Structure 1
C-alpha cells in the first residue's frame, strides 16, 4: 500500500467522506448497519474450502494417500459450512432491521444443513457439465483440463452453489458467490437462474444470464451471449408476469452462438440454433435456425441443412 506523507492535510477530505456516509445511511430508502452485512472476503474463503471439498484432487491440492482423502474433505467442508453459517447469520441480521417478526436464531444453521445435503447432487451436476464440455469442445484434451482451466466450468460450478443458497433463502450470500465467479471468469449468472444438466459455456467471456432465465438440458452457449430482460424496471410500466418472468426460456438441446442477445420472456424451442450477433425479441420454434444478416427464422429442410453446416464448423 502506498505510504501517505504525514504532512498531507486530509481533514477536509475526511470530513466530506463522513458527510457522504452520514447522508447515505440516513437516506429515505433506509440503510443497514454496515457490520451486519456479509463479508465478500469471508465468502470467498468459504468458497475456496468448499470447492476443495468438492474436488479435493484437482481443485483442492490434496496429494495424500487415498485413505486420508475423506478426512481432508471433512476438514475443508466443516470450515466452509461454518463460515457460510456465520455469513448467513450476518445476512439475517441485516434483513432483521426491516422485518416485522424476529428471525429464528436457528434458521441459519438449518439453511446450512439443507445446503450440505445438496452438495452431493451439485457435484454430480458439475461432473455432467464437465462431460458436456469435453463432448462440445474438440480442443479439450481431458476432463481434468476442463475442470481446472475452463472459465465456463468455474462459472457453472459457482452458479450451482449460489443457486442452492438462493433457493434456501440466503440471497445476498448467494449473490456474493455469483459475483466472485463473475470477477474470476467474466461470466455473469444471476443465482436465481434455473439451469439444467450438461450445460456448457464455450470461451465464456461476456455471457450474461438473468435472474428468471430458465435453461434446459444439453444447452451450449458461446461468448458474449445475453439472456436478458427487455427494459429496466421503473422505466416502463410492467405487469406482474413481466416483473417475475423477465428473461428467456431456452429449451433442451439449443446452441446459441457468440454475441447473440435474447431479451424478454421469449422461448427458444428445443433443438434450435441461434446464430452469432442475432438480436431476438420473439419466440423461436423448435428445430429452427436463426441467422444473420437478416435474422430470418428457418424451418424444415432449410433449418436441417443450416444446423449441419453450423455444427460441422463448430467441430
Structure 2
C-alpha cells in the first residue's frame, strides 16, 4: 500500500480550524467537546425507539416477560446520555454569558426529566399515527407493517421526540434528531412544527413542513407536499427575523395530495381537500376542494 506524507495537510487543516474558531470567537483552550454529537443523538434515538416499542423496535431476542426490565435499563442509559448532550447544548449557548455551571446542569436535568415524563404521551400519539396510516392506506396489511416499514412513521417518531426537546429549550438537539430522520426518509419536518394526533404521511419523499406550521387532527399528506414560507421578513439592518409565524395552519381532517405547495400563513379549513401539484397562497374555506382546474378557472387564485 502506498504511503502518504500528510504532515503538511494536517498542519494546514489545523490552521484552517484556528481561522474558523477565531472568526467565531471560540476558545482554543484544551478541553472536552464543546457541543452535542450527532452520532450520540443517533444512538439515543435508536434506544428510545426500542423503549417506546420494545417488541417491534427493540432487540430481536427480547421476550415479553423481559419487556419492563429492558425498557427500564434502556431508558436509564439513554436518558443519562441525553443529559450529557443537553448539558453540552446549554453550555454552548451560554459560552458568552456569565452563567454558573451548576445552574446550567440543573436546567439540563430539569429538561431531561420533563422529556422522560412526556414519553408515555408520545407513545400514545405515535399509536394514533400508526393507526391513521393503517386505516388510510389500503396496501397496509397490519399496524406492525406500518410501524416497521413506513417512512412517514419513522419521520413521526423522530418528530414527536424532537418536538418535545424543542419545547423544552433544546432546539439544537431537536434539530439533530429531526435531520437524522430527514436523511433516512427524505421527509423534512422542522421540530418546531405543531402536529396534532392521527397524522399520516403517505409515501413521504420530498415532504417539507416548516417551523411554524400548525397541523390539526387526522390530517393526511402525500409525497412532495410543501408547507412552507412565502417570504422572509428582515429587520432594519437586513437580517432575517426568526421565529415569526410564516407557515400554514392546516385544520382537522384536511387531505393534501402529492406535489401541492402551500406557502405563507394561510389557513386550510377543516375537511378541505387540496389536489395534486397546486400552488396555494390564500386561505381555503372549510370543506372546499381545490384542484388545478378550479384554480385556473378562478382569477384570484391563478397559478403563478
Task: State if a TM-score over 0.5 links the two structures.
Answer: yes
Residue matched to 2:34? 36
CA contact (8 A) 1:62 1:69 kept: no
Change (3 A) 1:197 1:86: same
Q: Deviations over 1:146-173 (max 9, x none)?
A: 0000000000111000001110111111
Alignment match of 2:89 (pick from 88, 91, 94): 91
The whole-number CA distance in structure 2 between the counterparts of 1:281 and 1:297 is 16
CA RMSD after TM alignment: 2.3
| Match among 13, 28, 33 for residue 9 of structure 2 | 13
Q: Is residue 2:19 matched to residue 1:23?
A: yes
Deviation at 1:18, TM superposition (A): 2.6
The aligned counterpart of 2:198 is 198
User: Where does residue 81 of structure 1 map in the other structure?
Assistant: 79
Q: TM-score scaled to structure 1, two decimals?
A: 0.86
- Alignment correspondent of 2:288: 288
| Partner secondary structure for residue 56 of structure 2 | coil
Unpaired runs of 5+ residues, structure 1, are 299-315
- 2:262 aligns to what SS in structure 1? strand
Q: Deviation digits for residues 173-211 of structure 1, max 9, x if unmatched?
A: 111110111111111111110000000000001111111
Alpha-carbon shift at residue 11 of structure 1 (Å): 4.3
- TM-score under structure 2 length normalisation: 0.89
* Distance in 1, Cα, partners of 2:220 & 2:247: 17
Q: Shift in Å at residue 65 of structure 1?
A: 3.9
| Pair 141,79 (structure 1): closer, same or farther in 2 beyond 3 Å | same
**In structure 1, distance between residues paired with 2:213 and 2:98:** 31
Match of 2:257 in 1: 257
Q: Does 2:67 match 1:69?
A: yes
Conserved in 1, the CA contact under 8 Å of 2:233 and 2:240?
no
Out of 34, 42, 45, which is 1:47 matched to? Answer: 45
Describe the SS at the equivalent of 2:89.
helix
Alignment CA distance shift 1:249-1:18 (3 Å): same
Per the alignment, residue 302 of structure 2 pairs with none
CA change 1:99–1:42 in 2 (3 A) is: same
Q: Which residue of 2 aligns with 1:146?
A: 146
User: For residue 120 of structure 1, what is the aligned residue in structure 2?
Assistant: 120
CA distance in 1, matches of 2:258, 2:96: 43
8 Å contact from structure 1 (residues 230, 246) kept in 2: yes
Unaligned runs of 5+ in 2: 299-304
Task: Look up the match of 1:101.
Answer: 99
How many residue pairs get aligned? The number is 292
Q: 1:41 to 1:128 in 2, by over 3 A?
A: same
CA distance in 1, matches of 2:74, 2:186: 27
Distance 1:94 1:157, change over 3 A: same
